[in-house]
Structure 1
Amino acid sequence: MNITHLTVRYGAFTAVDDVSLDIPPGGAVGLVGESGSGKSTLARALVGLAPVSAGTITGVPAGHTQMVFQDPYHSLDPRLTVGASVAEGIRLPRGERAAEVTRLLDLVTLDSAVASRYPRELSGGQRQRVAIARALGARPELLIADEITSALDVSVQGAILNLIRDLRARLGLAVLFISHNLAVVRYVADVIAVMHAGRLVEVGPTDEVINHPREDYTRTLMAAVPSIGDRLTAPPPDGP
């Protein structure tokens, strides 16, 4: 996907300001920034849920981008079974959907028996896996993951991150992974894009941004994550 000079305005307020970013086929871009920086608005614009005031989005046909939201409980209809929720996004004849639901649940490492259960009967991690399976039902070229681990227990977050990495490798998916946590993004992304006040302030390969940040704002984000901030500011060791 090629995002060129994209702007999103709500009245006089500019939520996304002249953003240009490339997400290559099969690539993983991590979009980071504090709350209110415009990350989620940009994501919503890419799937048609926020108005584009200027700029262009090219490279991925309409309908071939799917988004997984932060809170898996609110993104799933509580009146539908898991199977029915996953089937909503499947573009196959009705007679083939049950088998496809089973395949999608297997992709996200859930037993097919989960299809008959309701979201309220599942854990947060299981619900997020269902939301990912539903998004995959549309056979997307680009998956947008918007803070998908922030509402989960720490013990579950790693498993979901590993799942995203595995799905990308198995399916050749491009991924836009959005988070306020650089440590999380670092684990899944080839490229990191840093967003502040609606603008991209730094973009580069993950290791380069982590080890040699150019912007003070990036350093501030890194300092908020001890495992990264300590490495950035620690004095060099004595001796050779």
Structure 2
Amino acid sequence: MMRISEVTVRFGSFTAVDGAGLDVPAGTVTGLVGESGSGKSTLARAVAGLTPYAGRVSGVARGRVQMVFQDPYSSLNPRMRIGDAIAEGSRVPRGQRAAEVARLLELVSLPAAYARRHPRELSGGQRQRVAIARALAAGPELLIADEITSALDVSVQGAVLNLIRDLRAELGLTMLFISHNLAVVRYVCDSIAVMRHGRLLETGPVQDVLGAPQHPYTRTLLDAVPCLAHG
């Protein structure tokens, strides 16, 4: 289990994350939801070791957290071929990397021949699949997905979400899935944590939190999605 204990992130006098505590059981997907500016991504970057923080993150080895970002184009080196980008973080011996790249591309439903392409030659959905493959190449103990469909066309968002569900089932991934979309979280996640102004307000199984929210803010988020608010 990955455990976040009293994690606080400050930027000068501003507290972006205020004493957050959250458990992410192994092999499960925990959704982290809240409005823009709630501290979701800052908490994720702290867990990934990208932002200094006070508190403790346990249950995951240093360097074994991988993060997939919102904009796949900005997270990929435009000059680097897809295969090289994926192989860069791989833990397999150098002589086996071409085969490993082909395996990872197949895992995210892309042809092995795409290894020779550059990011500009791919669609947004394909680039996000490459970003996921690159994260998986490192063999992460925890995969953080930060609003990974929000920059994509609506027509391809569902395909990427289905990929996440399939990968979770096939690989037993442990994931922290960040989104402002409760419908997406219900589709992908086992449990949910609601965040506002840097604080976690409510956590629990998805069906419990969305079916009978305890905090007024959670109810406000739910009311904004009629199909969820009314079952």
> TM-score, normalization: structure 2?
0.98
Inter-partner Cα distance in structure 1 for 2:17 and 2:33:
14
Which amino acid is 2:63 matched to? G
Question: Rg larger in 1 or in 2?
Answer: 1
- Aligned-residue RMSD, C-alpha: 0.8
* Mapped partners of 2:69, 2:221: distance in 1: 22
2:16 alignment partner AA: A
- Paired position in structure 2 for 1:97: 97
Partner of 2:17, secondary structure, is strand
For the residue of structure 1 that corresponds to 2:161, the secondary structure is helix
In the alignment, what sits opposite 1:3?
4
Q: Give CA-to-partner distance per residue, 1:135-166, whole Å, 9 cap, x none.
A: 00001111100000000111111111111111
Shift of residue 32, structure 1, vs aligned partner: 0.1
| 2:46 corresponding residue in structure 1 | 45
Q: Which runs of 5+ in 1 are unaligned?
A: 233-240
SS in 1 for 2:169: helix
Which residue in the other structure is 1:153 paired with? 153
Partner letter of residue 190 of structure 2?
A: D
Listed as ranges, the matches of 1:77-116 within 5 Å are: 77-116=77-116
Query: What is the letter of the counterpart of residue 51 of structure 1?
Result: P
Alignment of 1:65-80 (within 5 A): 65-80=65-80
Counterpart secondary structure, 1:202? strand
Other-structure match for 1:21: 22
Deviation string 1:71-125 (CA, Å, 9 cap, x unpaired) is: 0010000000111111111012211100000000011000001111111110000
- Looking at structure 2, the residues matched to 26 and 68 of structure 1 have their Cα atoms a distance apart, in angstroms, of 18
SS at match of 1:228: helix
* C-alpha separation in 1, matches of 2:111 and 2:145: 23
Taking the aligned partners of 1:88 and 1:125, their CA distance within structure 2 comes to 21
Output the CA distance in 2 between the equivalents of 1:222 and 1:22: 23
Q: SS in structure 1 opposite 2:27?
A: coil
Tell me what 2:35 maps to: 34
- CA distance in structure 2 between the partners assigned to 1:224 and 1:67 by the alignment: 28
The equivalent residue for 1:212 is: 212
> 2:202 matched to which residue of 1?
202
Distance in 1, Cα, partners of 2:169 & 2:7: 29
Q: How many corresponding residue pairs?
A: 230
Gaps of 5+ in 2: none
> Displacement, 1:64?
1.2
Paired-residue identity, %: 69
* Aligned-partner residue type, residue 44 of structure 1: R
Shift of 1:226: 2.9
Partner of 1:236: none
Which SS does the other structure have where 2:157 is aligned? helix
Deviations 1:33-62 (A, max 9, x none): 00000000000001111111x210000101
Aligned to 1:235: none
TM-score by length of 1: 0.94
Which residue number in structure 2 is paired with residue 143 of structure 1? 143
Letter in 1 for 2:132: I
Give the SS at the match of 1:86: helix
